[in-house]
Amino acid sequence: MLKATIKSLLSRKLRLVLSALAVVLGVMFVSGSFVLTDTLQRSFTDLFSSAYADVDVSVSPKQEKGKQPEPLTAQAVEDVKSVPGVASAVGNVQGSARAIGKNGKVITTSGAPRFGANWTGNGQEKIRDGRAPQADDEVILGAYLATTGGFKVGDEVSVLTLEPKKTFKVTGVYDYAGGRESLGGELSMAFTEPVAQQLLLGQKDAYSSITATAAQGTSDEALRDAVAAKLGSAYDVKTGETLAKEQADQINEGLKFFNYVLLGFAGIALFVGVFIILNTFSIIVAQRTRELALLRSMGASRGQVISSVVLEALVIGLIASVVGLGAGVGVGALLATIFSSFGGTNLELAGIGVPMTAVISSFAVGMIVTVVAAVMPALRASRIAPVAAMREAATPDRPLTKITVTGALVLAAGGTALGLGFAQASLPLIFGGILVALVGVALLTPVLAKPMVSLIGRLLSWSMPGLLGRRNSSRNPRRTAITAAALMVGISLITGVSVVLTSATKSIEKLASGQLRTDLIISGEGQFDGQPATFQREVLTQVEKTDGVSAAFGWASDGVLQGDDRMFAAAVTDVPAMKSMFALQPKDGEIAPLRDDQIALPEDLATEKGWSVGSTVTLQLAKGEPRTFTVAFVWLKSQVLQGALVLPESAASSFRSNQIGQAFVQVDQGVAAADVQKRVEPLFADNPEITVQDRSAFVKQTTSQFDTVLLMIQILLALAILIAVLGVINTLALSVIERTRELGLLRAIGMRRAQVMRMITVESVVISVFGAVLGLLVGLALGVATVQALKDQGISEIGFPWATMVQYLVVAAVVGVVAAILPAIRAARLNVLDAIAYE
């Protein structure tokens, strides 16, 4: 039996390749994700251990919940120095510093930090050119920053720190051991110590951390304990090794999430792969019915027939897993290289390794998926009575009742899970519900196939080849349905996401045009490496005084703690201006300027917290001791400032930063906003990260991030769609083999090669478009359900991405044409005589 199975496998190389390809792609994605994240993790671990190579012990202020740590004092540095066993101790100053490039734009990275420090001269930094900064207006640049910005010794460079733009003279450039420009793509610079303290910490004689090296004969651990004993409990004292590990772990935590996302998409790809393999095996088994029946009639048991098919699946799964793993290592390595060089991170890659998880998951996933997909057709094959199968491989239309009822039940189960998932905000339930619902729809597709296919086909069947193609595609509803369902999965997910994003865009637009009565919006661009850019309170005062401005207000924002609850708080400069520009309506109390011990909040937050006007609330701000406030007013639910506490302006001084993050301007009646914009913009000349926009530009900017999200999801889901295309090719190729004799007849009675190709193409396009239409419908349903569930989160409108949906439909049609190319050529090239004699 084993021999017969292997022989039958080898004699069908094409089928083998086609059915294995789907598994290969899925496994490739899985192992590629693991290889990529493993490589990056080891690279970051290397990065931090080299960053802290010279640090034996590091002292930093103890982090207290919700509070900004007090910087270390000069006294603490002296204290550390006096500890026996300390060879040297240095106070380090570090804080956000962004250089402005020669084009006037702030130089950015795609994730790596941008910071300034004090030049200590005894770190790992080696001066490559020039000298260290000595005067207050001098700076030394990291080599990577110098290269990126094109700065040389003697150039001037403008820098944004806690303070607005300041210009420095570049006195030197430093790099690291081996001439490395940066450790991990960071953009760094160093000032003299007093300048660094003022610009980066905003405080004289303050330090972010202290690093100490141990004297000969003192171990790092002993030194750590000695330093800790000397300084007392207000400090965190760690060895350099621990610190490196902690920081690497922090990044790796993020990478883990990244890995989960990739694996999620790999899961979707494999999910689609299951459809394809299931279909391939169904067709192969159907075509082999006679062969299997022959084996049965010669005494093979049902179990042997099943195990023959399952064995075939195991062999395919094994080969596909090996190939997929190999390809995954390649893809992972390629992505890691792209990440390290093009991402602007300039990360030194650790060697590409193949983690055990990649190997295990590849084989587990590849083999299990293939076998699961093969078992059903195998069971069906074993049930066929040998004589019936030998007579004629007739596969009468089996009734679709059972599958339809099952589909409806599964769909209902998926819908329920989805509903529960939304209600409990449980991500696993939501995703599980979506997948189960998709399976349900997939089971329903055979019933839908006939009417929908004939409808779609009518558009394409103006000629005989077209008519035949259409009829062929509705010939085996199960086969067409599964093939189309594979395409449906990817398209429905993309469509669902599109609906949600379009709805979010529409909601924002509506909010902007309805509730925002502001003409100009001043905001900072978001940054990867910290808080959004801010500007000084005085600039806002100047904006208020600008000609044509009728009112302006802004806020500084920060997180505040109430017990263990973290909330978003805005210290608003002008409450009446906010009231009128945001059209706030009082629910309780009067919307009036807040006293220093008063706060205000929206209706839903008040309900959630059980607070009302007059309630006293104790809040821990970033600086200082907890403070008690009284609720002054509650405003009616509104789309703006959702879930936010409004604090008096004076509270901003206890925030991490008291600078303004966002401001809104109303212009005088009859004055053009554009004119005022021109007068306001120059006020921000020293704040190049701040933009002044009119309402529509602001909306555009806010919603443009959705396009990025959509693009990324499209790229990731492209794999699922690619696998679905393979499925279409697969089905067509197998159908061509199955219908060899028909094709021979058509050629014999005068159908031209081009007509044969057209017939196959129509069949392919019909299947693809059917899949796309299903996907669009299911995607719309998913999207609408999600939007409904997010109604309270600010997505108040439902928007449909019609243009995008039409695009998907067109793409599906093109996909159909492309998928038909190879099978069509194969069909057209058939030898007429051989084909007509084909069994």
Interface with another protein (CB under 8 A), residue total 24
Quick check: 782 binds another protein (CB under 8 A)?
no
Nearer to another protein, 469 or 799 (CB): 469
Q: According to CB under 8 A, which one of 105, 256, 752, 791 is a site residue for another protein?
A: 752
| Token code pair at residue 253 | 């935590």
CA angle at residue 272 from 416 to 287, to 5 degrees? Answer: 120
Q: What share of the chain is helix, strand, coil (3-state, %, to 5)?
A: 60, 15, 25
Q: Which stretch binds another protein (CB under 8 A): 228-236, 678-686, 751-759, 787-795?
A: 751-759
- Based on CB atoms, which residue is closest to another protein, 451 or 614? 451
| Residue 461 phi, psi dihedral angles, 5° rounding | -105, 60
* Binds another protein by CB under 8 A, chosen from 2, 387, 425, 464: 464
Q: Does 395 bind another protein (CB under 8 A)?
A: no
Part of the chain binding another protein (CB under 8 A), chosen from 34-42, 204-212, 463-471, 655-663: 463-471
Q: Are 142 and 189 in contact (CB under 8 A)?
A: yes
Q: Tell me if residue 215 falls in helix, strand or coil.
A: coil
Which secondary structure element, helix H or strand E, spans residue 130, and what is its range? strand 126-130
Interface stretch with another protein, choices 174-182, 311-319, 586-594, 738-746 (CB under 8 A): 738-746
Shortest Å distance, C-beta 463 to another protein: 7
Of positions 609, 753, 797, 811, contacts another protein by CB under 8 A = 753
Smaller CB distance to another protein: residue 525 or 834?
A: 834
We find the least distance from the C-beta atom of residue 740 to another protein, in angstroms, to be 12
Instruction: Considering the complex, state which of residue 749 and residue 803 has its C-beta at the smaller distance from another protein.
Output: 749
Backbone angles phi and psi of 793, in degrees to 5: -95, 10
Query: Torsions phi, psi of 84, nearest 5?
Result: -65, 140
Q: Sign of dihedral through CA atoms 783, 789, 794, 799?
A: positive
Site stretch for another protein (CB under 8 A), options 229-237, 257-265, 584-592, 741-749? 741-749
From 72-80, 180-188, 349-357, 831-839, span contacting another protein (CB under 8 A): 831-839
> Both tokens of residue 820?
């038909």
- Cβ closer to another protein: 462 or 802? 462
- Strand runs labelled E in 527-651: 549-562, 565-572, 586-588, 598-602, 616-619, 627-635, 644-647
Measured from the CB of residue 753, what is the shortest distance to another protein in angstroms?
A: 7
Structure token pair of residue 592: 């009036």
List beta partners, residue 555: 572, 662
- What's the closest the beta carbon of residue 814 comes to another protein, in angstroms? 26
Helix (H/G/I), strand (E/B), else coil: 687: coil
Cα separation of 339 and 331, whole Å?
A: 12
Examine residue 749 and tell whether it contacts another protein (CB under 8 A). yes
CA distances from 688 to 86, 99, 244, 675 (A): 44, 11, 34, 20
Site for another protein contains 755 (CB under 8 A): yes
- Which span sits near another protein by CB under 8 A: 372-380, 466-474, 508-516, 720-728? 466-474
Least Cβ distance, residue 741 to another protein (angstroms): 7
Q: How far is the CB of 770 from another protein (least distance, A)?
A: 17
d(CA 29, CA 270): 9
Q: Residue 323: which H helix or E strand, with range?
A: helix 302-342
Stretch that binds another protein, among 32-40, 197-205, 267-275, 830-838 (CB under 8 A): 830-838
Q: Can you tell me which of 4, 368, 393, 745 binds another protein, judged by CB under 8 A?
A: 745
In the list 506, 747, 758, 826, the residue contacting another protein (rule: CB under 8 A) is 747
63 DSSP assignment: P
Check the CA dihedral 348-187-557-678 and report its sign. Answer: negative
Determine the Cα–Cα distance for residues 575 and 111; give it in Å rounded to an integer. 36
CB under 8 A: which stretch of 72-80, 344-352, 465-473, 578-586 binds another protein? 465-473
In this structure, what are the phi and psi dihedrals at residue 235, rounded to the nearest 5 degrees?
-130, 150
**Closer of 471 and 510 to another protein (Cβ):** 471
Min separation Cβ 727 and another protein, Å: 22
Q: Which is nearer to another protein, 476 or 498 (CB)?
A: 476
Instruction: CB nearer to another protein: give 60 or 474.
Output: 474
Single out the segment in contact with another protein by CB under 8 A; choices: 422-430, 519-527, 562-570, 740-748. Answer: 740-748
Q: Does 741 bind another protein (CB under 8 A)?
A: yes
CA distance 193 to 207: 9
Give the containing element (helix H, strand E) for 714.
helix 695-738
Should residue 104 be labelled a site residue for another protein when binding is judged by CB under 8 A? no
Is residue 742 involved in binding another protein (CB under 8 A)? yes
**Secondary structure, 3-state, 768-833:** HHHHHHHHHHHHHHHHHHHHHHCHHHCCCCCCCCHHHHHHHHHHHHHHHHHHHHHHHHHHHCCCHH
Cα–Cα distance between 186 and 184 in angstroms, integer? 6
Does 472 sit near another protein (CB under 8 A)? yes
603/742 with CB nearer another protein: 742
Rank residues 62 and 391 by Cβ distance to another protein and give the closer one: 391
Closest to another protein by CB, 319 or 468: 468
Question: What is the closest distance, in whole angstroms, from the C-beta atom of residue 824 to another protein in the complex?
Answer: 15
Q: Residue 832 interacts with another protein (CB under 8 A)? A: yes
Question: Helix, strand, or coil here: 395?
Answer: coil
833 binds another protein (CB under 8 A): yes
- Considering the complex, state which of residue 467 and residue 784 has its C-beta at the smaller distance from another protein: 467
| 836 near another protein, judged by CB under 8 A | yes
- The residue within the footprint of another protein, chosen from 468, 491, 508, 560 (CB under 8 A), is 468
Cβ at position 391, least distance to another protein in Å: 14
Between β-strands 187-191 and 114-118, what pairing exists: parallel, antiparallel or unpaired? parallel
- Which of residues 128 and 470 has its CB atom nearest to another protein in the complex? 470
User: Given candidates 26, 273, 433, 465, which one binds another protein under the rule CB under 8 A?
Assistant: 465
Q: Which residues pair with 629 in a beta bridge?
A: 617
Q: Scanning residues 354 to 373, which ones bind another protein (CB under 8 A)?
A: none
Q: Is position 748 an interface residue for another protein (rule: CB under 8 A)? A: yes
Cα(189)–Cα(172) distance, rounded to whole angstroms? 10
Q: Does 746 help bind another protein (rule: CB under 8 A)? A: yes
Q: How far is the CB of 460 from another protein (least distance, A)?
A: 15
The verdict on 661 binding another protein (CB under 8 A) reads no
Q: Which stretch binds another protein (CB under 8 A): 29-37, 513-521, 662-670, 828-836?
A: 828-836
CB of 520 closer than 8 Å to CB of 694 = yes
Query: In this structure, are strands 138-142 and 114-118 parallel, antiparallel, or unpaired?
Result: unpaired
Asked if residues 114 and 529 have their Cβ atoms less than 8 Å apart, the reply is yes
With binding defined as CB under 8 A, does residue 471 bind another protein? yes
- 474-493 residues in contact with another protein (CB under 8 A) are 475
463 binds another protein (CB under 8 A): yes
- What lies within 8 Å, CB to CB, of 62 at 6+ separation is 69, 233, 234, 235, 236
Distances (CA, A) of 323 to 26, 64, 227, 499, 721: 11, 51, 55, 37, 20
Cβ-contact 47, 348 below 8 angstroms: yes
C-alpha distances out from residue 503 to 422, 469, 802, Å: 17, 39, 12
350 is an interface residue for another protein by CB under 8 A: no
Q: Which neighbouring-strand residues pair with 214?
A: 86
Nearer to another protein, 394 or 803 (CB): 394
Q: In the complex, which residues of this chain contact another protein (CB under 8 A)?
A: 463-465, 467-468, 471-472, 475, 741-742, 744-753, 755, 832-833, 836
